[in-house]
Structure 1
Amino acid sequence: MRRLYNEFEEGNCSICEVNAADSSSSEKFIEKEGFTTSICRGCYDQIVYIGARLPRTEYLIYGKSGRIPLFGETHLTLASSPPSDFKGVYHVDSLVDDANFSRFRVARHIPQVRREELADERWFKLFRKEDGFDEMIQDIGDDPEMFIPKTFRMIADKSRKELNGGELSGRPLLGFLKADVDNLGLVFSLGLGDKLSVARMGFLSRMLNIFFSDYVAELLKRKFPDIYVVFSGGDDLFLIGPWWQITKFAITLREKLGHFSSDNPDLTLSCGILTSKARFPVRKAVEITEEHLDSAKRYNAKDRVKDSVSFLSEVLSWQKLEALLQAGEKFDKALEEKQRSNFTTAFMYRLLTYHRMYRKFIEEGDIKSGKYLSHAHYDIARNIRKKNLSNHQELDMLYKIFAVGAPDRDELYHLNIPLFYAINLNREFK
């Protein structure tokens, strides 16, 4: 009796909720993941086993024996090649297309350290700050198949941009993105009308899963290789990547979903995006990103409901976010070409102050904050408008944002977003 009591002294495993938690496994999990939970030895071994092998797995083998117990006498093994002996094998799924087995779709893109980054002194110097980096690369040699996954800190470092002079600038931040298709239950129940059938429902479900599990992973691999897939399949996804790549990917994702559905107005996407430092707890980031997604799902404008994105706690239409990021690129270019534009980081922060004054004026009725317009025009005339500068495009942009007598100042209301984009891409960070 005492032995049984001691066995369950740590409580049940918080993952399987069946086996007794193991103190040694729980301590290893805390050290590895950074947060406290009770976990049994079996679940911990499975997490380590799957996490280490899934990126290079090509076959899922179900059989009488294997590394991962599922139910009854059925076990699962992750393998890079098909079984040579099918005795005791119940079923084989392939994760690749060119195999003679049923295709199982899993989005499993993981950013990896590329050889050109190791050869580039700038990136090598940044990556080397990561604990254990030298040990990670010591066996890379000439093996083209060598796989070195990037840590979150390395992924955050990739949010820096390369300047014309060759140096790197920008603040290393992570972006967390969670998105899913809007009103999918309604689409399934009413969208097919009198043509509803099990076959059509199954086809729609499979096609959506192909989009999120196959197409998205391939898109990331080709155009956004530094974005990490936590999960992507069914009708939703969760990604972690360099913050500005995450925002650009979000817009690309919405555009590609529109192409995929022939711009069906009833098949839309909502998304929540969070930016944070690399060491911010992932578990907390997931909770906050989920809250941002819920905010986007509650979006209700005159012309649409949902089909929106929450970024920097602002809920916006996709078109609005794209326009604001384009404005951010213009501010970014002006900061890069400061000799021509006379834009400085200090000036950008003053613009942010005028934006906050405007919001305080219209939202709280603060009379003193009503000086935002006169302060902005004085600042622009004193510091930006110079006869010897060719910054006419930037001046036109500023005077449009701070136009006198404008009935609507939507660009000024959301000015924090393009300023955030430009400031964090040009901020010096050592």
Structure 2
Amino acid sequence: MVRYFNRLGEKLAKYEKLFIIYQFEDINGKPDLDFGELGKVYLGSPDLEKLNSETIRKAKELLNLNSTELAKEIPINSTNLADKGYTNGFKFIANKVPILTNEVKDYLLKYADLEEKDKKELEELSDNLTNNPILPLNYIAEFAKGDKKLAVLRADVDNLGLIFSDGLRRYTISRIATLSRMLDLFFTGYISILINKVSEDYTWKEFGNTSLKTDLIYTVYAGGDDLFLIGPYNLILDFAVELRRKFYKYTANNTDFGISGGIPIVGSKVSLEYMAKISEEMESISKSTIFTKNKQNYLKDAITIFEKSFKYSSEIKGYNTYNQRIFGNKELSKLYKKPQYDNYVNFETILRISNEIAKYMERKDISRALAYRLLSLHRVYVSEDGKIDPVIYPKIFYQIGRNVKNESVRNSLEEWLLRKGYSYGEDSISKENLIRNLDVILSIALMKTRGGKKDG
């Protein structure tokens, strides 16, 4: 059974276009899925050359996957199976996976620090490039910056039951079906476009290479209102923010449609079962997180990494009205552990600070030793509930003054950590919240500047 589903999954993933044929009669040719009296399903390759003509003539429905090409009628006596425009419907599925191409193989053999057995496996996989072999996860990790690690993004839409039951005002079957279809369209149709775009931008930005024509994010599943994706850790971090921004626009800037998720960073040889378990736990943390800003409470719509939860981006304005309307601010504080300080911090800003510190490290303006010293100070002087021991401030000042020679970099670090905090565009983060989250900021910066260390 496992082998059967593996074959089915490979077939779904290897083609950009597929055709689903629903058939109820007994005909020649073995179906890909057989549901007995409920029908049979045939998955055809783009040219349909391998499908029996009788299958096409007797098909009750032919659906085009990930393409909206339709026909006015299905040709009955067509002998050319490659004829275009014969389908009478379409369906989107999120089937994006990294594919091994000659360009990808050449890049990996030239730049990746592969063991001999990995090189041999890569050569064996590349012997049959015409079948579009899927790139194994350990090779996907080789495209990560610095540390060769993967990240999992598991997320779903918040309060979907409430949205369906309470958000439609006039509750009709048509409205329910439309909302359901439109949500599914985002997570099955648009998600593939977004993966393709961010993968292309990433290969150009990180490698200066536009010939690496493959998606770098592996879609375990995406559809309905949730997703489970795997990719190079730094690409997934940026993708999570971009996904939330696009969904915000897709829902007409309606903050009642939030997305909560978790991002564990793991070694490339970690089992998929473990990835699923730990990402589910982190997603649950996001679902139970309450944020406070200017005496206003915000629940959910969060991303969790390293067991800390953040909002997404300053572009997403407002808050989810369901939680306040049903519970009220006072009840929210009773139901969820309310923080003792304003903890509304955008993950996009955390990533931006991490990137700036990583650049300082790459230019040798900041040593890795200093980053580890600052991490040690955080562990000692910042408690789990976010309380900061004031002793940390002179110690940070001493470490920066002693170890950072570049005056401009030194001034920037002192500005962020000791004076005003960090500001960029419409967003800002106080020096207190920056210090509270210094462990996340420095951990990401250290991973990005590590010398390609592998970790199973």
In the superposition, the TM-score normalised over structure 1's length comes to: 0.78
Q: Does 1:400 align with 2:388?
A: no
* Distance across 2 between alignment mates of 1:327 and 1:88: 60
Q: CA deviation at 1:211?
A: 0.7
Asked whether the equivalents of residues 156 and 227 of structure 2 are also in contact (C-alpha less than 8 Å), the reply is yes
1:199-247 deviation digits (Å, cap 9, x = unpaired): 1221111111111101011110122221100111111111011111111
- Contact 1:61/1:78 (CA < 8 Å) preserved in 2? yes
Q: Deviations over 1:399-422 (max 9, x none)?
A: 431349999611000011121111
1:261 aligns with 2:251: yes
Q: Which of 210, 215, 220 lines up with 2:195 in the alignment?
A: 220
Q: Secondary structure at the match of 1:303?
A: strand
| Alpha-carbon distance between aligned partners in 2 of 1:362 and 1:275, rounded to the nearest angstrom | 23
Q: Is the 8 A contact 1:177 1:240 kept in 2?
A: yes
SS in 2 for 1:98: coil
Name the CA distance, whole Å, in 2 between partners of 1:181 and 1:48: 28
CA distance change for structure 1 residues 124 and 352 in 2, over 3 Å: closer, same or farther?
closer
C-alpha distance in structure 2 between counterparts of 1:76 and 1:186, whole Å: 35
Residue deviations 1:174-216 (CA, integer Å, cap 9, x gap): 101111111111111121213x321122111111111110101
Partner of 1:324: 350
For residues 240-279 of structure 1, what are the structure 2 equivalents within 5 Å? 240-279=230-269
Residue 369 of structure 2: aligned partner: 346
- Residue in 2 aligned with 1:149? 134
Change (3 A) 1:127 1:204: farther
Counterpart residue identity of residue 169, structure 2: G
Once the 2 structures are TM-superposed, how far is the Cα of residue 68 of structure 1 from its aligned partner? 2.4
| Cα shift readout 1:335-389 (whole Å, capped 9, x = no counterpart) | 1111xx2x11111111111221221497689xxx7643332211111111x3xx3
Q: 1:129 to 1:410 in 2, by over 3 A?
A: farther
The residue number in structure 2 matching 1:44 is 2
Mean Cα displacement is larger for which, 113-122 or 324-333? 113-122
Q: State the alpha-carbon separation in 2 of the partners of residues 354 and 245 from structure 1.
A: 29
Identity of aligned residues (%): 26
Displacement after TM superposition at 1:394 (Å) = 4.8
State the Cα deviation string for residues 299-328 of structure 1 (Å, max 9, x = none): 122331111111111011113211110000
1: CA distance, partners of 2:150 / 2:178:
36
Per-residue Cα deviation, 1:113-153 (whole angstroms, up to 9, x for no partner): 3433333353466487525211111244xxxx551321110
Change (3 A) 1:128 1:269: farther
Question: C-alpha distance in 1, partners of 2:123/2:11?
Answer: 22
Contact 1:46 1:68 in 2 (8 A): no
1:128/1:134 contact within 8 Å kept: no
Aligned to 1:377: 397
User: In structure 2, what is the Cα distance between the partners aligned to 1:407 and 1:332?
Assistant: 20
Tell me by how many angstroms 1:279 deviates: 1.0
Equivalent residue of 1:209, what SS?
A: helix
Equivalent residue, structure 2, for 1:290: 280
Give the 3 Å change call, closer, same or farther, for CA 404–189 of structure 1 in structure 2. closer
Specify the alignment match of 2:308 in structure 1.
314
Change (3 A) 1:90 1:193: same
Aligned equivalents of 1:272 and 1:393: distance in 2?
33
Q: Which residue in 2 is equivalent to 1:102? A: 89
**Partner amino acid for 1:136?**
L
Kept in 2, the 8 Å contact 1:173–1:243? The answer is yes
Contact preservation (8 Å) 1:271, 1:310: yes
Q: Which amino acid aligns with 1:154?
A: Y
Does the 8 A contact of 2:100 with 2:126 survive in 1?
Answer: no
Tell me the equivalent position of 2:154.
178
How far apart in 1 are the matches of 2:115 and 2:176? 47
How far apart, in 2, do the equivalents of 1:137 and 1:279 lie? 21
Q: CA deviation at 1:155?
A: 1.0
Q: Residue 444 of structure 2: which of 411, 417, 421 is its match?
A: 421
Instruction: Determine if contact 1:112/1:148 at 8 Å carries over to the other structure.
Output: yes
Q: 1:146 to 1:222 in 2, by over 3 A?
A: farther
Q: Counterparts in 2 of 1:122-141, with a 5 A limit?
A: 122-123=110-111, 126=114, 130=118, 132-140=121-129
Over aligned residue pairs, what C-alpha RMSD do you find?
2.6
Name the CA distance, whole Å, in 2 between partners of 1:127 and 1:228. Answer: 23
Tell me how far apart the structure 1 counterparts of residues 38 and 433 of structure 2 sit (CA, whole Å): 62
Give the letter aligned to residue 34 of structure 2.
P
- After superposition, where does 1:385-396 map in structure 2 within 5 Å? 386=405, 389=406, 391-396=407-412
What is the DSSP-based 3-state SS (H/G/I as helix, E as strand, rest coil) of the residue aligned with 1:132?
Answer: helix
Structure-1 separation of matches of 2:101 and 2:122: 14
Contact 1:155 1:242 in 2 (8 A): yes
Amino acid at match of 1:323: T
Aligned to 2:76: none
C-alpha displacement of 1:429: 3.2
Checking the alignment, whether the CA contact within 8 Å between 2:92 and 2:185 is kept in structure 1 is yes
Partner residue in 1 for 2:143: 158
Tell me, yes or no, if the aligned pair for 2:22 and 2:39 is still in contact at 8 Å. yes
**Quick one: structure 1 residues 146 and 290, their matched pair in 2 at CA, closer, same or farther if it must change by over 3 Å?**
same
Deviations 1:66-108 (A, max 9, x none): 1322233622222114553235533322202224231122100
Structure 1 position 272, deviation (Å): 0.9
What code does the residue aligned with 1:229 have?
Answer: T
State the number of aligned residues: 364
Q: Which residue of 1 aligns with 2:208?
A: none
- Of 104, 112, 118 in structure 1, the residue corresponding to residue 99 of structure 2 is 112
> Aligned partners of 2:271 and 2:161: how far apart in 1?
33
The whole-number CA distance in structure 1 between the counterparts of 2:248 and 2:261 is 15
Could you tell me the TM-score, scaled by structure 2's length?
0.74
**Amino acid paired to 1:332:** A
Structure 2 distance, partners of 1:228, 1:201, is 30
Distance across 2 between alignment mates of 1:45 and 1:333 = 46
Cα distance in 1 for partners of 2:288, 2:151 equals 22
Flag structure 1 segments of 5+ consecutive residues without an equivalent: 1-42, 161-169
